[in-house]
Amino acid sequence: MKRVVVTGLGAVTPLGNTVSEFWKNILAGKSGIGPITKFDTSKFKTHFAAEVKDFNADELFDKKEQRKFDVFTQYAVASSDQAIVDAGLDFKAMTDDELAEVGVIWATGNGGISTFEQQLKEFNGGDGTPRFSPFFIPKMIVDIAAGVISIRHKLRGPNYCTVSACASSNTAIISAFDTIRLGKATIMVAGGSEAAITEASVGGFSAAQALSKRNEEPETASRPFDIERDGFVMGEGAGALILEDLDHALKRGAKIYAEIVGGGMAADAYHLTGTPPDGIGATLGMKKALNDANITADQIDYINAHATSTGLGDISELTAVKAVFGNSDVLIGATKSMTGHLLGAAGAVESIISILALNDNIVPPTINTKNIDEKIPAGLNIVLGTPVKKEIKYVLNNTFGFGGHTASTIFKKYEA
């Protein structure tokens, strides 16, 4: 099978709307969490989230286009445009045959939920006569971001959306990886976006007892593995990767960030929203990723943990890590402590973190965590407080979602 490399990155996040700004703030241990500004939270139990800041849609779309695209699609276009430029790709100079070899697999968990809410409010606030925007459906449906990226750049290769809750964009990356290595495309735009800081979404997750309620100190609310953690913090944004056939990348002289060498997907088969105490799905997914990469557990240097800061989830994941890695020297970090949980975009944004950690030989910190829960398995090396310099050759990125979906990817430092 073909080797697949990463040649471009793009990000829109609570910690910056470019990859360089985002990475600088991650290494500085900065929190992107603060009071919600998108709606009145006075009647809600949770008043904070990790919002994208200073996003200017006018730089990408005219006013007419903005009315056609939900915010999750706008984030998708912004991050994918960045990644395409970063990869040095000029699609306008490509032939139709070449464009047929370029595809898009884009993920989201909630799609255009803000559009859905807005349209139903307008309908319910009227006289019952159906008055919906002609853009309602194409703004809302989950696959539309993939379609818009394709249309924008005339990309005619494989094009679809993956939805596996908070594992969605890791699933998209694995699917894009498989597409290229099986020879079904040469270049894939892969990633995910989410814009779910809305009344219904925050209210729904709050009703499910999933969100932190630490309203007096939101910057420290996401504290993975800590005995005082009380739920995850909602985030939003997007992450985009350009995956490319290695031979094609070398032929055009592209810079190469990393090689993707493994992907593993599995299921907990346990509960709608909960995770099994033994972490069976996570264990299977990580083992499948290692087998796919044809490496052993002791070769992984850094794990970017899913680590949402939920009571059962953190324990389940690290129980699985212990089962797979034992008392190895692998370093574990939880960057959601800074970004919040970007839901369907989490896997892509955290893949960018993983790849940059690989490039710079540095493991980002887990912030806010002071006292490790005694139920967390002992003997694990969790990076707390400040970054740790380490020679990194392989990094594993975990994502898990409601419904029991698990997806793990492995990136390797590129070697000719």
Helix (H) or strand (E) holding 159: strand 159-162
CA distance 332 to 380: 8
Sign, CA torsion 389/302/392/173? negative
375 sits in which H/E element: none
**Angstrom distance (rounded) from CA 328 to CA 315:** 18
Kindly state the tokens that stand for 298.
Answer: 């002791």
* Residue among 50, 37, 98, 107 nearest 76 (CA): 107
CB 366 within 8 A of CB 306: no
Inter-residue contact 397 to 304 (CB < 8 Å) = yes
- What whole-number distance in Å separates Cα of residue 105 and Cα of residue 169? 9
- Residues with Cβ within 8 Å of 94's Cβ and at least 6 positions away in sequence, in order, are 102
Q: Catalytic site residue 166? A: yes
Which DSSP string corresponds to 392-411? -SEEEEEEEETTTEEEEEEE
Pairing of strands 362-363, 302-304: unpaired
Question: Phi and psi at residue 302, in whole multiples of 5°?
Answer: -145, 135
What's the alpha-carbon Rg for the chain, to the nearest Å?
Answer: 20
Question: Cβ distance 413 to 360 under 8 Å?
Answer: no
Q: Which residues of 186-212 are buried (b: 16+ CB within 10 A; e: fewer)?
A: bbbbbbbbbbbbbbebbbebbeeebbb
Q: In the numeric block, which tokens belong to residue 30?
A: 């900065």
Beta bridge partners of 192: 107, 239
**Secondary structure (DSSP) of 283-319:** HHHHHHHHHHHT--GGG--EEE----S-HHHHHHHHH
The first and second tokens of residue 223, run together, are 């504290």
* SS3 of residue 76 by DSSP: helix
Q: Of residues 166, 286, 320, 355, which has the active-site annotation?
A: 166
Q: Which residues are catalytic?
A: 166
